[in-house]
Amino acid sequence: MKKTIFIVLIFLINQISAQEKILFWPKGEMPNSKGLKIENKDLNPEISTQEAELFAFLPPKPERSQRSVIIIPGGGYSKLTYNEGAFQIAKWMNTLGISAFVLYYRLPTSPDLIQREIAPLQDAQAAIKYIRKNASQWGISPDQVGVVGTSAGGHLATSVSNISTDYTGLKGEWTNISTIPDFAVLFCPVIDFGEFAHVGSRKSLLGENASPEKRTEFSMQNRVTEKTPPTVLFHNQDDTAVPAMNSILYFKAMTKNKVKGALFIFPKGGHKFSITNKSELSENWKKLCSDWLKSLDEK
Amino acid sequence: MKKVIFIILIFFISQVSAQQKITVWEKGTMPNSKGLKLKKIEEKEGRITQIQAPELFVFLPAKEERKTMAVIIIPGGGYHHLTYDLGGYSYAKWLNTLGISAFVLNYRLPTSPDLKQRELAPLQDIQAAVKLIRKNAAQYGISPNQIGVLGTSAGGHLAAMDSNISTDYTELKGDWTNFSAVPDFAILVSPVIDLGEFAHRGSRDNLLGENASQEKIKEYSMQNRVTDKTPPTILFHAQNDPAVPVINSVLYYEAMIKSKVKGALFIFPKGEHNIGISNKTELTDNWKKICADWLTQIDK
Q: Does A296 touch chain B (CB under 8 A)?
A: no
| C-beta atoms surrounding A104 within 10 Å | 22
Task: Kindly state the DSSP code that residue A201 receives in the 8-state scheme.
Answer: H
A–B: how many Cβ contacts below 8 A? 81
What's the whole-model pTM score? Answer: 0.91
Q: Does B175 touch chain A (CB under 8 A)?
A: no
Residues B267, A284: C-beta atoms closer than 8 Å: no
- pLDDT interval class at B199 (50, 70, 90): very high
Structural domain total, chain B:
1
Kindly give the residue spans of alpha helices, DSSP state H, lying in chain B.
Answer: 2-19, 90-97, 121-135, 137-140, 154-164, 201-208, 214-219, 247-258, 282-285, 287-299
Could you tell me the CA-to-CA distances from A178 to A104, A105, A219, B213 in Å, in that order?
Answer: 20, 19, 22, 51
Q: Does B18 touch chain A (CB under 8 A)?
A: no
Report which of residues B270 and B7 the model is more confident about: B270
Residue B27 in contact with residue B35, Cβ under 8 Å? no
CATH number of the domain at B108, please: 3.40.50.1820
Mean residue pLDDT of chain B comes to 94
Q: What share of chain B is helix, strand, coil (3-state, %, to 5)?
A: 40, 20, 45
Q: Does A294 touch chain B (CB under 8 A)?
A: yes
Residues B264, A265: C-beta atoms closer than 8 Å: yes
Nearest to B237 by CA among A186, A283, A247, A264: A264
Of B257, B282, B294, the CB nearest to A245: B257
Please tell me the predicted confidence (pLDDT) of residue B7: 54
Residues A267, B257: C-beta atoms closer than 8 Å: no
Residues B254, A245: C-beta atoms closer than 8 Å: yes
Q: Does A257 touch chain B (CB under 8 A)?
A: no
Which residues of chain A are within 8 Å of residue B250 when distances are taken between CB atoms? 248, 251-252, 255
What SS3 class is residue A3? helix
In a domain, B276, yes or no: yes
Pairing relationship of beta strands B147-152 and B47-50 according to DSSP bridges: unpaired
Residues A230, B269: C-beta atoms closer than 8 Å: yes
Please tell me the predicted confidence (pLDDT) of residue A2: 56
In a domain, B35, yes or no: no
Nearest to A266 by CA among A236, A299, A226: A236
Please list the residues that pair with A42 across neighbouring strands.
A47
Burial A35-69 (b: 16+ CB within 10 A, else e): eeeeeeeeeeebbebbbbbbbbbbbeeeebbbbbb
In angstroms, the CA A121 to CA A108 distance is 10
Q: Does A237 touch chain B (CB under 8 A)?
A: yes
Residue B252 in contact with residue B193, Cβ under 8 Å? yes
Q: What is the complex's ipTM, to 2 decimals?
A: 0.90
| Residue of chain A whose Cα is closest to the Cα of B265 | A265
Which residues of chain B are within 8 Å of residue A243 when distances are taken between CB atoms? 257
**Cα radius of gyration rounded to whole Å, chain B:** 19
Residue A131 in contact with residue A152, Cβ under 8 Å? no
- Cis peptide bond upstream of A189, omega within 30: no
Residues A267, B264: C-beta atoms closer than 8 Å: yes
Nearest to A191 by CA among A160, A222, A169: A222
- Structural domain harbouring B286: 2-24+41-299
Chain CA centroid to CA A63, Å: 23
What SS3 class is residue B178? helix
A252: distance to nearest CA of chain B, Å? 8
Restricting to B residues 216-275, those with a Cβ less than 8 Å away from any Cβ of A are: 232, 239, 246-247, 250, 253-254, 257, 262-270
Residues B283, A266: C-beta atoms closer than 8 Å: no
A265: distance to nearest CA of chain B, Å? 5
Residues A255, B270: C-beta atoms closer than 8 Å: no
Residues A281, B294: C-beta atoms closer than 8 Å: yes
The tens digit of pLDDT for each residue in B64-111 reads: 999 999 999 999 999 999 999 999 999 999 999 999 999 999 999 999
Across the range B49-60, mean pLDDT stands at 96
Across the range B194-212, mean pLDDT stands at 96
In a domain, B152, yes or no: yes
Which residues of chain B are within 8 Å of residue A295 when distances are taken between CB atoms? 269-270, 281-283
- pLDDT interval class at B300 (50, 70, 90): low
In angstroms, the CA B128 to CA A209 distance is 57
The tens digit of pLDDT for each residue in A132-187 reads: 999 999 999 999 999 999 999 999 999 999 999 999 999 999 999 999 999 999 99
pLDDT higher than 80, residue B15: no
Element (H, E) at A248: helix A245-256
In a domain, B274, yes or no: yes
User: pLDDT tens track of chain A, all 299 residues?
Assistant: 555 555 555 555 444 445 689 999 999 999 999 988 766 555 444 555 567 999 999 999 999 999 999 999 999 999 998 776 799 999 999 999 999 999 999 999 999 999 999 999 999 999 999 999 999 999 999 999 999 999 999 999 999 999 999 999 999 999 999 999 999 999 999 999 999 999 999 999 999 999 999 999 999 999 999 999 999 999 999 999 999 999 999 999 999 999 999 999 999 999 999 988 779 999 999 999 999 999 998 86
Q: Which residues contact B222 (CB under 8 A, 6 or more apart)?
A: B157, B160, B161, B164, B193, B194, B252
Q: What residue ranges in A188-274 does DSSP mark as E strands?
A: 231-236, 261-266
Query: Could you tell me the domains of chain A?
Result: 2-295 (3.40.50.1820)
**Residue A159 corresponds to which amino acid?**
S
Q: How far apart are the first and last CA of chain A?
A: 52
| Residue of chain A whose Cα is closest to the Cα of B268 | A262
Task: Kindly state the DSSP code that residue B224 receives in the 8-state scheme.
Answer: G
| C-beta atoms surrounding A114 within 10 Å | 10
Of A230, A284, A295, the CB nearest to B293: A284
Residues A248, B250: C-beta atoms closer than 8 Å: yes
Across the range B168-181, mean pLDDT stands at 96
Q: Does A245 touch chain B (CB under 8 A)?
A: yes
In a domain, B110, yes or no: yes
B258: distance to nearest CA of chain A, Å? 10
Residue B269 in contact with residue B283, Cβ under 8 Å? yes
Q: How far apart are the first and last CA of chain B?
A: 47
The torsion region of residue B272 among left (phi > 0), alpha (psi -120 to 50) and beta comes to left
Across the range B185-200, mean pLDDT stands at 97
Q: Does A280 touch chain B (CB under 8 A)?
A: yes
Residues B283, A262: C-beta atoms closer than 8 Å: yes
Residues B283, A251: C-beta atoms closer than 8 Å: no
Which residues of chain B are within 8 Å of residue A294 when distances are taken between CB atoms? 282-283
Residue B96 in contact with residue B60, Cβ under 8 Å? yes
Residues B293, A280: C-beta atoms closer than 8 Å: yes
Residues A264, B266: C-beta atoms closer than 8 Å: yes
Residue A103 in contact with residue A124, Cβ under 8 Å? yes
Which residues of chain B are within 8 Å of residue A298 when distances are taken between CB atoms? 281
Chain CA centroid to CA B295, Å: 16
In a domain, B46, yes or no: yes
| Residue of chain A whose Cα is closest to the Cα of B283 | A291
Residue A117 in contact with residue A152, Cβ under 8 Å? no
Q: Which residues contact A167 (CB under 8 A, 6 or more apart)?
A: A31, A118, A121, A122, A125
In angstroms, the CA B265 to CA B185 distance is 14
Which residues of chain B are within 8 Å of residue A239 when distances are taken between CB atoms? none
Which residues of chain A are within 8 Å of residue B281 when distances are taken between CB atoms? 295, 298
